[in-house]
Amino acid sequence: MKCFKNALCYVEGKGLVKTDILFDEKIEKIGAVSGDAQLIELPENAVVLPGFIDEHIHGAGGADAMDASEEALLTIASTVAAEGTTAFLATTMTQSRENILSAMNAVKEYRNGGHDGARLIGIHLEGPFIAAAHKGAQPLEYVAKPDIEVFDEYNAASGYAIKMVTLAPEEEGACKLIAHLKDKGIVASIGHTGAKCADIEKAIASGAGSVTHTYNAQSALHHREIGTVGSAMLFDELSCELIADTIHVSVPAIKLLAKCKPLEKLVLITDAMRAKGIADGESELGGQKVFVKNGEARLADGTLAGSVLRMNKALENMVKHAGMSITQACDLATINPARVLGIDNEAGSIREGKRADFAVLDDKFNVLYTVCGGKIIYKA
């Protein structure tokens, strides 16, 4: 058994409290702890938060989910541990059938083994069922129409690990696929799309529940057609992903979304690519050259190509720029994605009986410890 002793902890239903937490793989007790336990000494400025959950991340540490190898997935899992992330969805991108199937198989093999680092809880299939005009950094030649049979092939190859699918609801066959995903308990997320409000309403009626990286690669808000961005704000049925790096989304836009959405419907993501955690310079995304400089990752034509954002930095940005408390910002990276993915019964908050997943930060948002399933997977 391990124990945080008299630590400032964000406990479900109680907020920030000074307490002991006794844990092994799960949280055994919150309250006064006596007896033998391995004490984890924390400085006075430390706060124990639930481990962060990143539902949209392509890569980190020089590796990408599309590398289609267990080694790459382990590199990602190890790298994100340093930012307090304890669970993530390996996110794919629009690519050839063969490359997507290889990525699916790699996740299946990885999940069948035992690995250190953050927990790989499944796959976010971003594309290929997107709108060509809103492809962003996705390769145009592999954009495809929504297809249930193709999706089922991918899902089977993954060992049925797909938890979320980004698609454009205005494309032919999209609503049928959305309904199919809903039946299987998979989140349909609206993204890389030129959808109008009427398209979004149809998608919600079919079972869509999320918007992928809100604002980015989607139809903008206009006063005569509110598009995807306006619909994301209008419809509370939709959870909104947000890349809070102040690059993909400006500070005023971050504040506007936070003001318009119920906070439980806002989810922080990194959308990070392989360049996260390594030095600036040339990198790669889906066979395309990417140039990273000063925290920005762009294609040669200037298109933003994923981010190098760390989840602890995303929390800091929400506190410093959007005026949230640390617990409010924490919810956006913990219990909110846990609810979206249907794992809030086991993760996303600090409660007796839940997984012992913790991110321990100091008052400068630096990560001191990351604990996943009771194991220390990162220590500063």
So which residues are the catalytic ones? 271
3-class DSSP string for 317-348: HHHHHHCCCHHHHHHHHCHHHHHHHCCCCCCC
Which helix (H) or strand (E) segment holds residue 259: the answer is helix 251-260
The pairing of strands 187-190 and 162-167 is: parallel
Written as one string, the DSSP assignment of 47-73 is EEEEPEEEEEE-EETTEEGGG-SHHHH
Which helix (H) or strand (E) segment holds residue 6: the answer is strand 2-11
Closest CA to 359 of 346, 342, 376, 343: 376
The burial of 375, by beta-carbon neighbours within 10 Å (0-12 exposed, 13-18 middle, 19 or more buried), is given as middle
Question: How big is the chain by its Cα radius of gyration, in Å?
Answer: 20
Report residue 206 as tokens: 């079919």
110 in Cβ contact with 102 (< 8 Å): no
CA distance 273 to 290: 10
CA distance 12 to 85: 18
21 in Cβ contact with 3 (< 8 Å): yes
CA distance 79 to 377: 10
CA distance 310 to 307: 9
Partnered with residue 328 across adjacent β-strands are: none
CA distance 248 to 260: 19
Closest CA to 193 of 165, 168, 176: 168
CA distance 74 to 70: 6
CA distance 362 to 36: 27
